[in-house]
Chains A and B, each alone.
Chain A
Amino acid sequence: MANAIYSGLVQRLLRVPPAIYVFLILLIILSISRPHMLNVNVMGIFIRQVVPLGILVLAQQLVMRVNSIDLSGGGVILLINYLISSSVFPGAPLWFFVPMALMIGTGIGLFNGYMVSKRRVSAVIVTLAVSIILIGLVQFLSSGKPPGDVPSIFSDIYNTKFWSIPTPVLFWVFLSVLMALFLARTVFGRYVSSVGANAQAAHFSGVPVERTVILAHTLAGLIAGIAALVQTASIAVGSVRVGLDLPILAVAATILGGVVFGRGEGGVSGPFFGVLSFALLFVVMTTFGIDDPGKLMAQGMIILLAAIFYGVRTAKS
């Protein structure tokens, strides 16, 4: 009897995405070592920094739910940042840049989706290659130098606050809620989970598998475009290195949040906490003086351990 309760409890605890545990552990570490940092203002600034990552994670988890992956986010962010900050469109207003960014993102997402679902190209290869092409293109156009400044309206919007919470954070929460509703309440959301669980079974049940994968990738591209806008607003200058490590971090946060290829157990909240864990992790590592190589190793270890955690569980079931 006691044994059954025990194993039931363990089962339930194991079902919680690792992101929650990591988040809690980091929060405890931070509250012991730097208690004065835990207030709304300081935390708001730290969380605001990871909003582009958080938005990109929404894209990543959508494609990972249909057994795919999108590593092209870095290239999309770099291209949009270049187009906004360079003098390609001098003095263009905000209402020009926003649709432009969204259209570029959607177009690249559509290309990825077409290649993955119709031509059956490995998603890693095609999105990685797209990213390489875009990065090469931007670096060629800017000849490797930072292009210029971002129109000030971007950083003006970025720096606003509502009830002492930064606007980008609210925007991220809003998009996450939207994504959660979209996955839970629409037919497309059901298609996504059925394609992820078993594409062949979904096909025989009448689910338009190819169209679902294309749409997931297209939406991911659109969201990457949004992430690019927020990232551009956050650094407020043009750069030829911005956002290059974001796709990998997005994969890490998504896996940490319990959304692994084809399985969306963590929901939208799991990856959300995954991103928050990374926000805290950066703070903790900075306060303990761990530099760039240590951060790279930590990223790698987190992806590896989270993936092993889910891999072992799949093998058992």
Chain B
Amino acid sequence: MNSGQKIADSDKTVRSKVRNMFTGQQSRQGMWLLPLLGFIVLAVVLSVQTQQFFSAENLFNLVAQAMPLIIAAIGQMFVILLGGLDLSVGSVISFTTAILALEGPGFILIPAVFLLAGLIGFTNGIVVTRFNVHPIIATLSMQYILLGITRMLRPVSGGTVPDIVISAVAGSFLGVPLPVFWGLFVILVAWKILHGSRYGLHLFAIGGGIAAGTTDAAHNFGIADKRNIILAYMACSCFAALAGVFLAGRIVSGDPNVGLGFEIDAITAVAIGGAQLSGGVGSLHGTVIGAMVMALLANGMNLANISPFIQTAIKGAILVFVVAFQSRKRMGL
């Protein structure tokens, strides 16, 4: 992998070309074709098993169910591309629903939510880059602080969110339910950030350097790595807040436990989508596919009447399984 000779050799045969396409060995986008196949297989199995699966109603419903995870996973992907992890995503989601359920006009609460999320991400980024704290420790402590604030604001679920949030999630436009437009909007924004801007390129550069063990590689090429890392944490929190707004619209109230375990689901989705947790490798389409695979799995397990407790156990097992087959040099955290 480190020499041009090897790449040239691998290009000789069609078979290795195909293998590279599926395993994503030399790709910056990682292994996303295999999860896509998994997604198609799952969809086919589900549609054979149940008649109603391919009805428009069920598919739209599935999109609405999967949307919070898709949004949160896209946010998580920015941080994972840098070799970090954001464990505060779930808390940000709960926090967002709690803020939205404070009685107040929507035009104040909604900007406030994103402002606060940006502030949370900014704090995470500053602690990681300037104070040299490991991302996992920084975001873990942020998770606990936010959980405490959320439980203080709203000990049990209740309150009502502004009407505009509810109608933005529940309504439909031209016969298509609004969650589909949420999905299109989020994917377009993330695509612009990741694949359509210099910032996205810098993210891959910084992450690649971190994955290779030379943390200042991108810095030496004149990339403002610390600023970009802080921006990635802010993006992650803002996407989590967006997922929180969507969830608040669906459950119509504030719930301090709604985001519980969301960070792990988001990490699993990103990992299924072919991103390497050591950084530098990953893609937007892979992440979306990963989140859709998770949603289909949950849907299938619900149809098969599997206990929710076993479902969490299965999700954990999938995470271990997926991550166990990623090659990584670094040992430990």
Interface residues in chain A, defined as those with a beta carbon under 8 Å from any beta carbon in chain B: 66-69, 115-117, 119-126, 128-137, 139-140, 144, 199, 209-210, 213, 248, 251, 255, 261, 292-304, 307-308, 311-312, 314-315
A136 touches B145 (CB 8 A): no
Instruction: Name which residue of chain A comes closest to B87, CB basis.
Output: A124
A125 touches B267 (CB 8 A): yes
Interface residues in chain B, defined as those with a beta carbon under 8 Å from any beta carbon in chain A: 85, 127, 131-134, 136-138, 140-152, 155, 261, 264, 267, 271, 277-278, 307, 309-317, 319-320, 323-324, 326-333
Within 8 Å CB of A312, what residues of B?
131-132
A302 vs B155: C-alpha distance when bound (angstroms): 22
Within 8 Å CB of B277, what residues of A?
122, 125
* Count of A-B residue pairs with CB < 8 Å: 168
B331 touches A67 (CB 8 A): yes
Q: How far is the CB of B69 from chain A (nearest CB, A)?
A: 16
Instruction: Name which residue of chain A comes closest to B261, CB basis.
Output: A132
Within 8 Å CB of B138, what residues of A?
304, 307
Main secondary structure of the interface of A (DSSP, over half): helix
Q: How far is the CB of A288 from chain B (nearest CB, A)?
A: 15
Partner of B323, one of A121, A140, A213, A293: A121
Given A122-B333, A199-B331, A294-B152, A137 contacting B313 (CB threshold 8 A): yes
- Which 6 A-B pairs rank lowest in CB-CB distance, beginning with the nearest? A136-B313, A300-B144, A297-B148, A296-B148, A132-B316, A300-B145
B264 touches A128 (CB 8 A): yes
A67 touches B332 (CB 8 A): yes
Given A124-B333, A132-B316, A307 contacting B310 (CB threshold 8 A): no
Within 8 Å CB of B331, what residues of A?
67-68, 116-117, 120, 199, 209-210, 213
Within 8 Å CB of A132, what residues of B?
261, 264, 312-313, 315-316, 319
Instruction: Name which residue of chain B comes closest to A138, CB basis.
Output: B309
A311 vs B332: C-alpha distance when bound (angstroms): 18
Q: How far is the CB of B203 from chain A (nearest CB, A)?
A: 19
Within 8 Å CB of B323, what residues of A?
121-122, 125-126, 129
Within 8 Å CB of B131, what residues of A?
307-308, 311-312, 315
A140 vs B142: C-alpha distance when bound (angstroms): 30
